Chain A
Amino acid sequence: MTGTAARLLPVAVVIAALAPLYVALVGSLTPDARLFQSVPLVPTPLVWDHYRALFGTRGFWVPLGNSLVVAVATTLLALLLGAPCAYALARLRFRGRAIVLALVLAVSMLPQISVVPPLFLFLRELGLIDTHAGLVLPYLTFAMPLTIWFLVTVFRQVPLEIEEAAMMDGASRLVAFRRIVLPLAAPGLATTALLTFLFSWNEFLFALTFTLGPERHTVPVAIALFRGQYQVPWGEVLAAALVATLPVALVVLVAQRRLVSGLTAGGVKG
């Protein structure tokens, strides 16, 4: 590996990673009629029409709201159910722990399509098709193992001594968990929450299957189905894609260091 190449490679990686997003940005600021000719390197003149249309006639607030509600609810529910489980797996000694861990891992590798038919019939029976709850429930299939797997690592890093001291003083497991471990693990909990939020925000197949009308579509579904009866409004599609990217980019910027160490340690998702 020559020195110059090695020096330039990181720069090339950054450019390669960002170039498609830049092209999208330019495209979203270019009038539709020009889009089918060629996309200029720098948009002239800048046209904000696509963004205006997106939040005006398209009502992009609706899918944004849906995604936010579903992703936040999924994250909270997964943390609520998953944190005690992860704590038990990280701290308590009992037979069958390896099997539970393997099960959690197996669930995390479940192909979504293989649970679509029963979940559809199940949600239909409960009258939950096309509701927010009808998305949060299926989202637990990936949110639960993700949260548990991540939090096991987090809880293991909490110093054992403080917890043991508390229990010596007569605190029960539950109290020690709630009063001592959870506060100490707060940064890890936050990272886990961000990651679960990210996955829920991005999910497509379940949202496509279990919502029906535009009033309930999440952001990815709304973008994918964005067309008039005869149209592919590329300008608006690209604008919407960038808007959908914003929260994701924020999460990455805020939590990149923790995300990487967590992901590489837990190796949760490829």
Chain B
Amino acid sequence: MRGLLPLLLLALSACARPSAAPALTLATSAVGREGALVQAQLARFEAAHPGLRVELRSTPDEADTRHQLFVHWLNAHASEPDVLQLDVIWTPEFAAAGWILPLDRFEPEAGAFLPAAVEANTWRGQLFALPWFVDVGMLYWRTDLAARPPDDLATLAAEAAQPGPPSGFVWQGARYEGLVTVFLEHLGGFGGRILDDGGRVVVDREPAVRALEYMRDSIHVQRAVPADVLSWQEEHARFAFQNGSARFMRNWPYAVPLLSDPAQSKVAGRFGVAPMPAAPGGTSTAALGGSQLAINARSDQPELAYALIQFLVAPAQMIERAQVAGQYPSRPSLYDDAAIRAALAIPAVEARAIVERAVARPATPVYSELSSILQVHLHRALTRQAEPRAALGTAAVEMRALLSRSGLDAEGGW
């Protein structure tokens, strides 16, 4: 028994993380088609830079977990990974904490990218990340059931409530970040916002209340939306729409290539994509999602890291990404490209219009907490535990308290 302890310690130390440093590390999601695509692109980058090795550090798929992983790495002041794939909503948080490098010294061609995406990656006047691809919320509709997509939200609900497919309109209503994006689109459709230009919380105003009432009533009164969506994320909705059991779906562009595959989709060739409709007085709104590339502030080789970012966001790689994974380019000019037009499955002009109108979520270092408050109260209203007005009122109170506690409220400035 005495000999056991050294043996055990030896075994444990042998399990510790290997420390051999590769030339450059990129932390990104590395599964499925996307993973294979990144591998192929990295191989080309290495071929163009002899002697440079790039190691792919795969990260958890689930956004919250990946966020925690990044926060830990950066908070521990590790020099790896050099390049990080960020969610659009994380940039201000990481920038404010000093975890990622301002890119201005590399003189990025910010003007070539979508202005909303550039803005989401800007913190206190400095650009901290370049948009890799953009995601936008869109309305999927069935070309065999209607001649054209609905013009406004009322028509959408009315058509969705008609008999026919068992579910009318499906979206992402589980209590997670996706619900905030769906709400944002309804909110814009009614002319409301979460924060105003001065950073004040306005999510308890009249348009927001009406948007949330619309969402709740379309579930529980008109039955245009199945109650099941309250536990659904993107893929549940995609399955329902793909099986032909839904008339409309709100989802990201990734679903287009999957729905077009006749081997697994019953609606291949029978669906179209349109901007989310609005209510009278509101604007058709798409939530802006997508991924950004940023440089670890402690990276030993920021110049090389920037070269990698520049390569990955170059037009050729973006076009390839659109073709393979259906993800939209973050460069507006590419929407005129013939290859993109073939890849997008909807008219490029329309796609570009949706992308250019896309609305970003609030850019604040405390976004994850802000969103978490909103998620709980939206979900409470949608599951009829609270009236929309009361739910949004409570959410607004909590959000204001959070902003003032963090010294980020409109009055105090930051």
Give me the interface of A with B, judged by CB distance under 8 Å: 33, 36-37, 57, 69, 73, 76-77, 80, 124, 129-133, 136, 178, 182, 212-214, 225, 227-232
Which residues 40-84 of B sit at the A interface, judged by CB distance below 8 A?
A: 57-63, 65, 68-69, 72-73, 76
Instruction: Report B-chain residues with C-beta under 8 Å of the C-beta of A130.
Output: 17, 72
A37 to B: closest C-beta gap in Å? 8
B254–A129 CB distance below 8 A: no
Task: Decide yes or no whether B147 CB sits under 8 A from chain A.
Answer: no
> Given B1, B252, B264, which contacts A178 in the complex, CB threshold below 8 Å?
B1
User: How far does the alpha carbon of A228 sit from the alpha carbon of B236 in the complex, in Å?
Assistant: 12
8 A-B pairs (CB sep. < 8 Å): A57-B31, A76-B8, A129-B76, A132-B16, A133-B13, A214-B59, A227-B61, A231-B235
**How far in angstroms is the closest Cβ of chain A from B124?**
28
Is A73 in contact with B8, judged by CB distance below 8 angstroms?
A: yes
Residues of A within 8 A of B5 (CB): 80
CA separation between A214 and B13, bound complex, in Å? Answer: 19
Q: How many A-B residue pairs have CB under 8 A?
A: 78
Question: What range describes how many residues of B lie at the interface?
Answer: 35 or more
Quote the shortest CB–CB distance from B167 to chain A (angstroms).
Answer: 12
Contacting residue for B264 out of A33, A225, A231, A232, CB 8 A: A33
Query: By the criterion CB–CB under 8 Å, are B15 and A76 in contact?
Result: no
- In the complex, how many angstroms separate the beta carbon of B249 from the nearest chain A beta carbon? 13
CA distance A214 to B66 in the complex (A): 10
Is A230 touching B235 in the complex (CB atoms < 8 A)? yes
Is there an interface contact between A212 and B69, defined as CB atoms closer than 8 Å? yes
Taking Cβ atoms with an 8 Å cutoff, the residues of B that contact A are: 1, 4-5, 8, 11-13, 15-17, 29, 31-32, 57-63, 65, 68-69, 72-73, 76, 233-236, 238-240, 243, 252, 254, 264
Q: Inside 8 A of B17's CB, which chain A residues have their CB?
A: 130-131
Residue of B nearest to A83 (CB): B1
Contact between chains at B243 and A33 (CB < 8 Å): yes
A214 to B59, CA, bound (A): 7
Cβ-defined contact, A132 with B61, below 8 A: no
With the chains together, A76 CA to B4 CA distance in Å? Answer: 8
Contact A232 B60 (CB under 8 A): no
CB contacts (< 8 Å) of A57 on chain B: these are 31
Contact with A133, one of B15, B233, B252 (Cβ below 8 angstroms): B15
The reply to whether B31 and A131 contact each other, CB–CB distance below 8 Å, is no
Residues of B contacting A73 with CB < 8 Å?
8, 11-12
Bound CA–CA A178/B61 (angstroms): 49
Contact of B58 with A230 in the complex, beta carbons under 8 Å: no
Taking CB atoms, residues of chain B closer than 8 Å to A178 are 1
Extra contacts besides A212-B69, A225-B60, A229-B61 (20): CB < 8 Å: A36-B240, A37-B243, A69-B15, A73-B8, A76-B8, A80-B4, A80-B5, A80-B8, A124-B72, A132-B12, A132-B15, A133-B16, A182-B1, A212-B73, A214-B58, A214-B59, A225-B62, A228-B235, A229-B63, A230-B234
Contact of A213 among B13, B32, B69 (CB under 8 A): B69
| Chain A minimum-CB-distance residue to B73 | A212
> Does the CB pair B4–A212 fall under 8 Å?
no
Min CB distance A251 to B, Å, is: 21
- Per the bound structure, the CA–CA distance linking A129 and B62 in Å amounts to 19
Chain B residue numbers with a CB within 8 Å of A231 are 234-235
- Which residue of A has the minimal Cβ distance to B254? A230
Contact partners of B65 in chain A: CB under 8 A: 225
CB-based contact B234/A213 at 8 Å: no
- A214 with B60: CB separation less than 8 A: yes
In the complex, are the beta carbons of A229 and B8 less than 8 A apart? no
Chain B residues lying within 8 Å of A33, measured Cβ to Cβ, are 239, 243, 264
| Among B12, B76, B236, contact of A136 (Cβ-Cβ < 8 Å) | B12
- Set of chain A residues within 8 Å of B15, measured between Cβ atoms: 69, 131-133
Residues of A within 8 A of B72 (CB): 124, 129-130, 212
Nearest 5 A-B pairs (CB), nearest first?
A230-B234, A132-B15, A231-B235, A212-B69, A133-B12
Contact between A213 and B59 (Cβ–Cβ < 8 Å)? yes
Which residue of B has the minimal Cβ distance to A76? B8
| Residue ID in chain B nearest A57 by CB atoms | B31
